[in-house]
Amino acid sequence: MSQAVRRNGNPSSPRTKASPARKASPARSRPSPYILLVYPIILALGSLFSVLSPSASPSTYSAAFAPGVASDINTPQTPQTLNYFAGKGNFLNLYFVKIGWFWTTLAFGLLQLTITNDPKQQPPSSRTGSKNNNYLQALLRYFLVTLTWIFTTQWFFGPALIDRSFTSTGGRCVPRHGKVDSLAEGIELSSVATNFSCKAVGGKWLGGHDISGHFFMLVLSSAFLFLEFFISETQTQAAHPHISPEAAARIAKETTEEEKRAVGGWESGGVAKARLWTQYFVWAVIVLDAWMLLMTAIWFHTLFEKVSGLALASLSVWGVYFLPRLSPEWRKLVGGV
């Protein structure tokens, strides 16, 4: 007859099946530089659509009447917009793209404000030594990317790089309607050095290589936010390896503060919800960036001008986020992915 196993002189109770240990979330694999290839793909798709689709053909003038008085009176002589996004006055262009770096900065700021990281719990490969150092590195990356945006599209010790590129390749400011009222006016227009100033005096850019500032900004913004999102999620996951902000927000009303800390470390349901809505907002900006990038690829600029904007933005992102993998000293300074 078998005997029950005794512990401390007492018969042991039947052994129950042990509950499975909670598994930590798997470590996130680092993004590859090849993710930047998504942008040439978007450009190729947009360019292909612009060539093959009848709706993407150049705006045409109505020809319902033969040229003459009847045509002038009855037929509007303005180009017909074939697509809402083909016009520069569309809502997203005016209130999203034109102030795109504001939305980018807001999304980045919310990411940093809702990070709850614990450097002691981070893997050695991403450990920085202090929470403050994480923030300083993030701010430095933001500064470098923003400086690239300023130099390229806003100001570079005078005209921005895209304006300098335009004028150095033969571009100039000319009258919008093709004629100059006086010699002095013609000289004044030809001396204008920026696209903004040219429009302000009633002229337009003509000739030259006009690097697509829209393409540059949209690529830079979306890549920057995606990579910062990855970094912040890695830090947050290290501090809360067992529970996501979604789950923390759901159970917040049903648990005590001690239980919240036990299951994931989220300080409160409000903190978890703030993180969750920040995630939604960041991805909304990224998706809108991608959509307007596709619209730009279809409707605006030449292919070479868009390729130039794409190349400048990709080099900027690579230098800040992927070059640190090749340079330990640079990685200590800016972090990276």
In angstroms, the CA 98 to CA 221 distance is 13
CB 181 within 8 A of CB 277: no
User: E-strand spans in the chain?
Assistant: 6-7, 10-11, 172-175, 203-206
Question: CA-to-CA distance for 302 and 281, rounded, in angstroms?
Answer: 32
Angle between helices 269-299 and 100-113 (to 10 degrees): 160
Rounded Cα distance between 38 and 198, Å, is 34
DSSP state of 194: S
Evaluate whether 324 touches 336 at the Cβ level (below 8 Å): yes
Please count the residues of the chain.
337
Q: How far apart are CA 219 and CA 289, in angstroms?
A: 8
The Cα 297–Cα 291 span in angstroms is 10
Amino acid making up residue 313: A
**Residue 295 to residues 46, 51, 222, Cα–Cα distance (Å):** 7, 14, 15
- In terms of DSSP H, where are the helices of 150-212? 161-168, 183-190, 195-200
Active-site residue set: 214, 301
